[in-house]
Amino acid sequence: MLPPSPAGRFAPSPSGDLHIGNLRTAVLAWLFAHATGRGFAIRMEDLDRVRPGSDVRQLRDLAALGLSWDEPVVYQSQRLEEYRAVVDELVAAGRTFECYCTRREILEAPSAPHAPQGAYPGTCRDLSEAQRAQRRSERPAAIRLRAEVSSFTVHDLLYGEFTGDVDDFVLVRNDGTPAYNLAVVVDDAATGVDQVVRGDDLLSSAPRQAFLATLLGHRPPEYAHVPMVLNRSGARLAKRNGAVTLTDLAGHGVDAASALSMMAESLGLAAAGEPVTLSVLAERFDPSTLVRTPWVFVPPE
């Protein structure tokens, strides 16, 4: 079987409609992939809370902006056996341990000097078998990676070399659900995704994911963490901020084409009110001149 072709991707969680910040990131991911001759994949990260029908509406909104993607759309909920197989290999290799800590216990535990707040302090790393048996009787175990490193460096097209903390992060939650950091690494490698474009709020997670990819024998993807879209208070944009989805905007007379024009203007790819298409933006797009500051979006009243 031939390996999958190189691709970029957009990976939403189908927990509701996409807001204009999500859609802008999707447009950027498509533009980065197109500019580098890659395919473009959509992955539904549906291992957590899901609202029925959200995936259909998200795909509809992406198509309304002119995005196209390689089929099929990948659903993480259909890949549980693949995640389990990877975890089983890591367990067999002695690269994991069971953890019984709650989030509160981790936050309240003394941490190593210079460790970031909330970093796993190693509480369950070296428990005896008797101690593990006792803790198992009290609550289910999560599975953590024995990282054996404290940091890892990635290259980001916008941020350059970025070194971030790597702790013994969770691979499988104590309810048996594969954790985000595991699933995205396994999925990207399996589907040929070697370019990850996403919001810069996720930059700090890239070193963990790149380290795990390397540990599993994969080359980490090329990263581009793009500026966020903020509300008028300077906080991360959310659906509660008013007319921020395509459906909401349509109720204020802003159609998908106009929304794309607004995004293009915010990226320095179009003049105010200029009608554009993705094909036009692809011709103008130059990653080296991408706007590096957040876009403050003010919804129409």
To the question of whether residue 83 is assigned a binding role by annotation, the answer is: no
CA distance 118 to 103: 9
Do the Cβ atoms of 62 and 42 come closer than 8 Å?
A: yes
To the question of whether residue 57 is assigned a binding role by annotation, the answer is: no
Residues designated catalytic: 239
To the question of whether residue 198 is assigned a binding role by annotation, the answer is: yes
Taking Cα atoms as reference points, which of 210, 203, 90, 86 lies closest to residue 149? 210
Residue with tokens 């996720």: 202
Helix (H) or strand (E) holding 7: strand 7-10
The dihedral over CA atoms of 243, 41, 195, 212, expressed in degrees to the nearest 10, equals 100
CA distance 263 to 245: 13
To the question of whether residue 98 is assigned a binding role by annotation, the answer is: no
To the question of whether residue 101 is assigned a binding role by annotation, the answer is: yes
To the question of whether residue 89 is assigned a binding role by annotation, the answer is: no
To the question of whether residue 95 is assigned a binding role by annotation, the answer is: no
To the question of whether residue 173 is assigned a binding role by annotation, the answer is: no
Do the Cβ atoms of 143 and 171 come closer than 8 Å?
A: yes
Binding positions for L-glutamate: 9-13, 45, 180, 198
Binding positions: 9-13, 45, 99, 101, 120, 124, 180, 198, 239
Binding positions for ATP: 239
Binding positions for Zn(2+): 99, 101, 120, 124
